[in-house]
Amino acid sequence: MPLRLRDTPRLPQRARWMGTLLFCALALASGAFWQWQARAAQHLDVGSGNDEGYFAVVHDREQSSATPDGTIRWTQAQTEARLWSPPIGSTAQLIIDIFSPQEQQTLEIRSGLARATMQLHYGLHRYAVVLPVASGADLELVFATTTSKFGDDPRQLGVALDRISIVTLGGPTPWSLLGELARPPLLPLALGLLMFTLALGGAARWLSLATTLGVALLLAVCAIWQPMVQLQLALACAVAVAILALTAIAFRLLPRTCLPRTDQSARRWIFVAWAVAIAAAYTPVVSSDGIGYYVYLRSLVIDGDLQFANDYAIPSFLRAPVIGSITPTGYEENPFAVGSAILWSPLFLIAHGLILVGRSFGLPWAADGAGTPYVAITLLGSALAGLATMLICYRICRRFVGAPAAALAAITLLTGTNLLYYAARDPSFSHAFAAAAVALFVLLWLRLDAAPSGRGWAALGIAAGLVALIYWVGAFVLLLPACTAARELVFALRQQGTARWRQLRALGAGTLGAAALALLVFSPQLLAWFILFGSPLTVPQGSGFISPRFFHGLDVLFSPLHGLLPWTPAMLVGMAGIALLARHGRWQFACLTTCMLIYLCYNASIPDWHGSGAFGMRRLSLLAPWIALGLALLYDWLRRWGALLPLGLAALTSAWMLLVVVRYDLYLLDHAPYSLMELPTLVFYLGRTSLPLEGIVAWLSSGYLWNRLVYSSTAGIIELAAVLVLAALGSWALLRQAG
């Protein structure tokens, strides 16, 4: 009888486990050897984009015909460099190509307590220094030399660095390979942890082994293709695996009764995520464009006018926008919308009253509208707008998916997109309010589109006016009700007799009523324009603000200059996930996708498509409901393949965005647009400071809550108590309304 497949003898259980353990040992050994080799031979092309994050106290990159690769950096009196350590216990040579502008110039290289002094010859030469025995810590070098001015160059220049290499003398020993297991970038442990994580997620043993082998082969290929970033790539792999492992462990340990299976439990999860994120990130400052939004409120309440010259000059306002021109009516120009100031006004008035009462009790508060109590309490409105955006987007997502996917999408919207930054780190911008208003508009449109009514049109008109009042570019969402009105018009025209006229009258009354209400809500902006510019209708940005010749569609998606994928990948994933909406309703898919694409094209067609020196694609925060819905649909689809897949995707995209925030706030990323534009894409992802794990504590300690708890006075404690009470009351009101 022929042997059938099901009769094929299987390996004994012990043999399978022995094979798995042997593979694990092989993965650890190969990872340790790979990591040793990467440390043993390091090369840095100084002056290229690949040296980002390696130097401090150094001049900018520049081109030079005196070097083979044409790029250099000039040192200052003491230039610092930070490289990966050579293998532990090994002896290595530091080889440097140096251009000296003068004969017999002295260069001192220090590494810890060790130092070496070299006499340099004029021109480009290669020099070698034996490094101290490596201890495993990062190799920190200091290049000290005399500096001089040359010709018309105003800079003080030392020597020009062209290329730096580390070459280890000798091969690996068993002890040195064993030491690699516990040294960054921890590649051997990452490979072992990857197998554990896949097994914890329910993957078959063969899949765990194959995935680990595939990652190892991918690292080997990348090491050959881009040897300069192989250690950083290994660190990125280790961090990603650690995030996935922690996510899997937390999911397995969490009681199933705690999961967001109902709307009530989902709202609790959303609130907890918001509270933790805001507590860690809230930093109330008025800066840049946010000054233009805030000064409406301060000038009216404190000065009783709309003359902004003194407001723009307040020292505590950071990076004031360059406006300067006087309008035809004699006012200082303010091109920003008034909606945020109106929404902040209740909190501002509460802060003003608290300060007046505090002053009567001798607290050192100035009733100037610009002090920390004013700003901390007033900008709390933006943080609450972030919570409102999450709750509204949750309701949108629940129309199409279950509570778990909708809750995870709402949380990712905060932790994985720039909503967190503009709700907490830079809350004086209008983007958090704008995101909430657009989300409310989309929710009301979905309800109206499903069941048109006069009441629905009225609510949508109020929401439309609110969107335009906060951020008038948000009026792009009017395309959605226009689609609904066109559909209803076609449907009415197909009717006969009185039914046709009845439906036409209802449609006309609804749309005209919505337009009237929108205009009424928008009227404060018309009044502000009339006072400032002499006309209720104007374009403050001037003509030519949008033009097809400026189109940067691919840059908006992929550029290191605030592109969606490098800065906030969850936003790009969410926009792509909207494609899954076609399975639930082709009409909603067509309307929402068309509206989203039009807004994307608009943003890609303005000269300032990147948003200047702000964080990420800030204007695309208005697409919050699209992003949340796309994420929810994608999470719901991924759950069919494994419960941990959506959690892993959310964790990875959120962790990356949060690390980009740390880089941005600690100035590990240049804020200047031209500098980011020149940054190589590979360096953005795998530069020396792309994973600033050591900077997380410094970033957290810069937050408002931490500083008030640690360094506060009596007045500061009272101020903090007021902020916490108002945050609790505001979040309670939002949760109650959402319920």
Rounded Cα distance between 176 and 174, Å, is: 6
Q: What is the 3-state secondary structure (H, E, C) of 145-166?
A: ECCECCCCCCCCECCEEEEEEE
- Whether 722 shows a pLDDT value over 80: the answer reads yes
Q: Report which of residues 36 and 110 the model is more confident about.
A: 36
Highest mean pLDDT among 315-329, 648-662, 709-723: 648-662
How far CA 234 is from CA of 86, 185, 647, 681, 688, in Å, comes to 15, 6, 23, 18, 12
Q: Report which of residues 613 and 411 the model is more confident about.
A: 411
**pLDDT of the residue at 102:** 85
- Whether 545 shows a pLDDT value over 70: the answer reads no
107 SS3 class: strand
How far CA 479 is from CA of 147, 448, 486, 599, 606, in Å, comes to 62, 14, 10, 10, 20
| φ, ψ (nearest 5 deg) of residue 123 | 100, -170
Q: What rounded mean pLDDT belongs to the chain?
A: 90
**Residue 26 DSSP one-character state:** H
**pLDDT of the residue at 540:** 67
**pLDDT of the residue at 8:** 45
Tokens of 249: 């462990």
- Whether 314 shows a pLDDT value over 80: the answer reads yes
Q: How confident is the model at residue 272 (pLDDT cuts 50, 70, 90)?
A: very high
Q: Report which of residues 388 and 11 the model is more confident about.
A: 388
Nearest CA among 576, 578, 604, 573 for reference residue 592: 578
- Whether 7 shows a pLDDT value over 50: the answer reads no
The DSSP code sequence of 122-152 is: SEEEEEEEEPPPP-SS-EEEEEEE--B--TT
Q: What is the 3-state secondary structure (H, E, C) of 656-715?
A: HHHHHHHHHHCCCCCCCHHHHHHCCHHHHHHCCCCCCHHHHHHHHHCCHHHHHHHHCCHH
Name the CATH architecture for the domain at 46-177.
Sandwich (2.60)
- Whether 85 shows a pLDDT value over 90: the answer reads no
Rounded Cα distance between 443 and 459, Å, is: 11
| φ, ψ (nearest 5 deg) of residue 472 | -60, -20
**pLDDT of the residue at 17:** 67
Q: pLDDT by residue (tens digit) across 185-202?
A: 888 888 888 888 887 777
**pLDDT of the residue at 543:** 54
Q: Report which of residues 334 and 547 the model is more confident about.
A: 334
- In 418-563, beta strands by DSSP E: none
Q: Report which of residues 340 and 153 the model is more confident about.
A: 340
**pLDDT of the residue at 1:** 41
What is the arithmetic mean of pLDDT over 329-334? 88
Q: pLDDT by residue (tens digit) across 120-134?
A: 989 899 999 888 877
Sorted by where each begins, the domain ranges of the chain are 13-37+184-253, 46-177, 289-378, 380-534+550-738
Rounded Cα distance between 113 and 499, Å, is: 92
CB 143 within 8 A of CB 78: yes
- Cis preceding-peptide flag for 328 (omega within 30 of 0): no
Highest mean pLDDT among 137-151, 318-332, 702-716: 702-716
**pLDDT of the residue at 411:** 98
Q: How confident is the model at residue 549 (pLDDT cuts 50, 70, 90)?
A: low
% of the chain beyond a pLDDT of 90: 58
What is the arithmetic mean of pLDDT over 205-223? 80
Q: pLDDT by residue (tens digit) across 651-705?
A: 999 999 999 999 999 999 988 888 898 888 999 999 889 999 989 999 999 999 9
Q: Report which of residues 221 and 625 the model is more confident about.
A: 625
Q: Which of 174-183, 534-543, 684-693 has the lowest mean pLDDT?
A: 534-543
Rounded Cα distance between 577 and 572, Å, is: 9
**Residue 477 DSSP one-character state:** G
- Whether 2 shows a pLDDT value over 50: the answer reads no
What is the arithmetic mean of pLDDT over 325-343? 91
Rounded Cα distance between 617 and 471, Å, is: 15
CB 40 within 8 A of CB 86: yes
**pLDDT of the residue at 546:** 57
Q: How confident is the model at residue 5 (pLDDT cuts 50, 70, 90)?
A: very low
CB 456 within 8 A of CB 420: no
Q: pLDDT by residue (tens digit) across 495-511?
A: 888 888 999 999 999 99
Count of Cβ atoms closer than 10 Å to residue 256 Cβ: 6
47 SS3 class: coil
Rounded Cα distance between 366 and 89, Å, is: 60
How far CA 682 is from CA of 55, 559, 578, 643, in Å, comes to 18, 11, 28, 32
Q: Is 298 exposed, middle or buried (0-12, 13-18, 19+ CB in 10 A)?
A: buried
- Whether 445 shows a pLDDT value over 80: the answer reads yes
CB 328 within 8 A of CB 533: yes
**pLDDT of the residue at 6:** 45
What is the arithmetic mean of pLDDT over 439-449? 97
643 SS3 class: coil
| Strand 71-83 with 114-120, pairing | unpaired
